[in-house]
A and B are shown apart, each in its own frame.
Chain A
Amino acid sequence: MQLGSRAREIVQQPWGLWWMQAQRLTRIELRRNLFSWKATWIYCLAFIPAVIIFIHLLADSHPGFQMSEDTNILAGIVQLYYIRLGVFFGCLGIFSRLIRGEMIERSLHFYLLSPVRREVLLLAKFAAGSISAVFLFGSAVVADFALMYAGFGAAGRDYIFNGPGMGQLEAYLLIIVLACLGYGAVFLLLSMMFKNPTPAAMLVLGWETINPVLPSLLQKISVASYLRHLMPVTVGAEGIFALLTVETEPVSAWAATVGLLVLIAVVLTYSCLRIRTLEIRYSTE
C-alpha cells in the first residue's frame, strides 16, 4: 500500500517540466563550455595526437606491412594517452568548472535561485559537460583514426570498411564516451567536495595507475579498469607502461560497460545528495 502511494507520488512529479528545464540548462552550459577561450587548452589536449599523426602522414611513407604496427600505436594512443591523460585532464577541466568554477566566479547562486530542482541542475550540468567532452575527444579520436589509415590508400580503406577497422573505431568511441562519463562524474563530485579538486584528482590518477595490481574488489572502483576490458586491440606495453595495460581478471565487454555505468550512477546519486545541502558562501572560496 505504502509502496503503491510512493510509486504514485513519483509518477505525479513534474517530469515534463524537469526535462524541459534540463534541456534549457544544458543548452546554456554548452554555449559556455564549447565556445570559450578558457577551453582552448582542452582542445589542444584532445587534438595533439591528431597533429602528430598528421605530421607522420606527411613525412613518412606507409608501406602495407606497417598497418598492424600503426593499429597498435593507435590502440596505445587511446589507452595510454587519451584514457590516462587526455580525457582525464580534459574532464578535470570541464567538469570541475561546472560547479566549483561557478562558485569561484560567484555566479552559481543565479542557478540555485531559479525554480529548478538542484538535482536537475546537477544532472543538466553533467549532461552538458559530457556532451562537450564526448564531442571534443570523440572527434579527436575519429580524426586520429582517419589520419592514421589515410596514408595507406586503398589498403587502409579496405581495412576500415571491409576489415576490423570500423569495429575498432566503434570500440574506441564507446571507450571515449564511457571515459568522459566516468571521469566526468568523479570530477563533478570532487569539485563539490573540495575547494581545489586538483590534489584529489591527482590521488585518483595514482589510484587508477596502481589499480590493476589491487585486489579484484578494489579494481571495481576505477574507471580505467573497466575501459581496459573494452579495448579492441591489446596494447603490448613494456616497462612501467605495462602496469597501465595489465589485465588481471578477464571481464566481458558488456559486463565492463554495465559495471562502469553502475559506478557512474552511484557517483551521480551521491552528488545529487550533496548538492541538496550545498551552501553559497562565496567569502570562503
Chain B
Amino acid sequence: MNDRIIFEDVSKFYGEVLGVNQISLSIPPGITTLVGPNGSGKTTIMNLMTGLVQPSNGHISVLGLAPADQTELFSILGYCTQFDFFPRGLTGWQFVLDSLMLHGMEKAMAVDLAQQAIERVQLGDAAWRKIAGYSKGMRQKIRLAQAIAHHPRVLVLDEPLNGLDPMARAESIALFEELSRQGMHVLISSHILDEVDRISDRVILMTGGYLIAEGNIHQVRQEVHEKPMQVLIRCDRPEVLASKMFAINHCVEARLHADGKGVFLRTGDIDQFYSMLNGIAADGLVKIDAVAPADDDANAIYEYLIGKDGSPS
C-alpha cells in the first residue's frame, strides 16, 4: 500500500455540467488544502475520492485503495462532509457509537473510541443531547468526532471551520496539526484563507473545475512569476531603504508600514532583490532587523491566480 492519494486524469461531469476536468494529483501525508471559490470543484474532488460520486474518466486511489473498496477504504478514511444533516432522532453519542459499531468492532471498544473522540473535539456533556438541538458549531464538532473516532489514516474535511467560534476554530486547527504530525493525510477545503495558510503543508488551487496550481505554498508563490512579490523589511530607516531600492530601479512599489518601522517593497525578481538588500545592509546605510515575504500566503496567491471574485486575474 503506498502512502499517497492519487488522481490520474480524473474528470467528472454532472450531465453537461463540469465538476472537475482532467485532474492529476499525487498528495503525500500532511495537511493539504483545497482552495477555490464556490463551484470550483473542491467538494467534487472530496466526493470522488470517497466514492460518493463516480468519475466520468480517470482513476483514483487512496493509499492504494479504490473508492469502491468500501470496507477497506473507510477503515482508514474519515470524511467530515459539509452536509449539515444527520440521521433523525439521534444523540451525538449514539451518532458516533452507531458509526463505530458498523466497523464491526466490539461494543466496549466502540464505546471507548467514541468517548475519546468526543473528548478530543471537546463536546462534553452535550454529546448526550439530541443532535436536533445542537448549535451549528456543535454539529460541526460531532461530525468531526465521527470522522476521527476510528483513528483513520486519511481525514477529509470539507469546510471544517464553518460555524465554529474563534476559540473552537483555534482548537480544531491545533487538532488538525496534531493529526498531521502523527503522519496522517489531512485534506481540507476552506475559504477561511488566513487560517488555512497557517496550517497547510501544501495547497491545491482550483477554479471552474480546473487545477490552477499545486504544491508547497511558497513554491507556488515563486512560480507566479508575472506577479511582483512583496517583502516586508523591518529597519531603522525605511524611507532611505525605499529610495535606495528605487534608485537602482529594482522595485515597482514601496509602501511604509503603519508603525513607520518598516517598508513593504514589491519586486519582479526576488533573487536579485535579496542580493541587493544584502549589499545595502553590508554598507551599513540601513540597519535591517527582519525580512519576511508579505504575500506568499494562500490569500495573496488565491487573488493572483483566481481573482477576488473567483475569476482568474
Q: How many A-B residue pairs have CB under 8 A?
A: 74
The verdict on B87 contacting chain A, using a C-beta distance below 8 Å, is: yes
Most chain B CB neighbours (cut-off 10 Å) among A14, A106, A107, A110: A110
Instruction: Point out the residue from B54, B74, B86, B101 that lies within 8 Å of A113, measured CB to CB.
Output: B74
- Taking the complex as formed, is A281 at the interface, i.e. its CB lies under 8 A from any CB of chain B? yes
**Docked-complex contact B75 and A115, CB < 8 angstroms:** yes
- Cα–Cα distance between A32 and B70 once the two chains are bound (Å): 24
State the interface size on chain A (CB cutoff 8 A).
28
In the assembled complex, the Cα of A102 lies from the Cα of B89 at a distance in Å of 13
Kindly state whether residue A277 has any CB partner on chain B within 8 Å: yes
Q: Whole-angstrom distance between the alpha carbons of A220 and B260 in the complex?
A: 89
Given the complex, which residues of A lie within 8 Å of B54, measured CB to CB? 277, 279
Asked if A14 and B88 sit within 8 Å, CB to CB, the answer is: no
A127 at the interface (CB under 8 A from B): no
Q: Would you call A118 an interface residue if the criterion is a C-beta within 8 Å of the partner chain's C-beta atoms?
A: yes
Evaluate contact between A24 and B101: CB separation under 8 angstroms.
yes
Q: Which of A105, A109, A116 contacts B71 (CB 8 A)?
A: A116
Task: Tell whether, in the assembled complex, residue B83 and residue A117 are in contact, meaning their CB atoms are under 8 Å apart.
Answer: no
When chains A and B are docked, how far (Å) is the Cα of A115 from the Cα of B104? 9
CB proximity of A245 to chain B, nearest CB, Å: 40
Give the distance to chain A from B229, nearest Cβ to Cβ, in Å.
Answer: 40
Write the A15-35 contact mask toward B (1 if CB under 8 angstroms, else 0): 001001100110010001000
Interface string of B47-88 (1 = CB under 8 A from A): 100111110000000000000101111110001010101111
B88 with A17: CB separation less than 8 A: no
The DSSP consensus for interface residues of chain B is: loop
Q: In the complex, what residues of B have CB within 8 A of residue A281's CB?
A: 14, 53
In B30-62, the 8 Å CB interface with A consists of 47, 50-54
CB <8 Å contact, B52 and A279:
yes
Query: Bound state CA distance, A9 and B75, in angstroms?
Result: 21
- Closest-by-CB residue of A relative to B84 is A106
Roughly how many angstroms separate A36 CA and B89 CA in the complex, as a whole number?
A: 9
Residue B247 at the chain A interface, CB threshold 8 Å = no
Check if A107 sits within 8 Å of B72, measured CB to CB.
no
Q: Which residues of A contact B177 (CB under 8 A)?
A: none
Residue of B53, B71, B83, B98 near A115 (CB, 8 A) is B71
B9-47 Cβ-contact flags toward A at 8 Å (1 or 0): 000001000000000000000000000000000000001
Q: Which residues of A contact B146 (CB under 8 A)?
A: 110
Residues of A within 8 A of B104 (CB): 17, 20-21, 115
Q: Which residues of B contact A (CB under 8 A)?
A: 14, 47, 50-54, 68, 70-75, 79, 81, 83, 85-89, 98-99, 101-104, 146
30 contacts between A and B (CB under 8 A): A17-B104, A21-B102, A24-B101, A25-B102, A32-B88, A32-B89, A36-B88, A106-B83, A107-B87, A107-B88, A109-B81, A110-B86, A110-B99, A112-B51, A112-B70, A113-B50, A113-B52, A113-B79, A114-B70, A114-B99, A115-B73, A115-B75, A116-B71, A116-B102, A117-B71, A277-B54, A279-B53, A280-B47, A280-B52, A282-B83
Closest 8 CB pairs between A and B?
A106-B85, A115-B74, A280-B52, A114-B102, A107-B87, A279-B53, A17-B104, A115-B75
Residues of chain A at the chain B interface (Cβ within 8 Å): 14, 17, 20-21, 24-25, 28, 32, 36, 102, 105-107, 109-110, 112-118, 276-277, 279-282
